[in-house]
Structure 1
């Protein structure tokens, strides 16, 4: 019985440490703003049918993407994707740049992984 006294503070400290680590990891994974997640899910729903099942799949998809690439890289890829559709010389750097291609490839790999896991 006397050993239980010193063990309790150690167990309590371990629980606090584990909870803190879990919260830090959740914040790290959840660095995408809600509006960005909602926009992704909305676009995904338009592409995959607006059903309850599609909502679950699309929500899963953005979670996977968010776990694989940081938000700033996602924004870069989305910007490149949007601006590469501009015709003529204005869109050319976004279609031919190696940095643009790398950002798009990162996004496409993350989306492919999300497709495998969620659909």
Structure 2
């Protein structure tokens, strides 16, 4: 086997590995259901403006969040934020739990990174 043939095999193997890694990453990034992405973009646009630029920025924002935070953590943080608004003992559990605070902190970090990258 010549050096050229060996190099071709190595390059082919590296390309296959890179493609597999890219597909795995894409699957991880795209684990958010379309409805969750649409809901986020809708809320984001209502909070910012209802322009074409806002669609692009808000879509970018949820893509960044999805790349940094698995969907189950996103759902947990959204649930905590929603339930912490409930008055009384039930809401208090969500406001005072360390696990809940960690979930919200992770979401806030992802949102801050999205703000930097997209707006």
The Cα shift of 1:114 comes to: 0.8
Give the whole-Å Cα distance in 2 for the aligned partners of 1:102 and 1:54: 29
Give the whole-Å Cα distance in 1 for the aligned partners of 2:114 and 2:18: 28
Length, aligned pairs only: 118
Larger mean Cα displacement after TM superposition, 88-97 or 39-48: 88-97
Give the whole-Å Cα distance in 2 for the aligned partners of 1:43 and 1:70: 20
Match of 2:68 in 1: 68
- Normalising by structure 2, we get a TM-score of 0.87
1:1-119 to 2 correspondence within 5 Å? 10-119=10-119
Structure 2: 5+ residue stretches without partners? none
- Normalising by structure 1, we get a TM-score of 0.87
The Cα shift of 1:38 comes to: 1.0
Query: Runs in 1 of length 4+ with deviation above 2 angstroms?
Result: 2-18
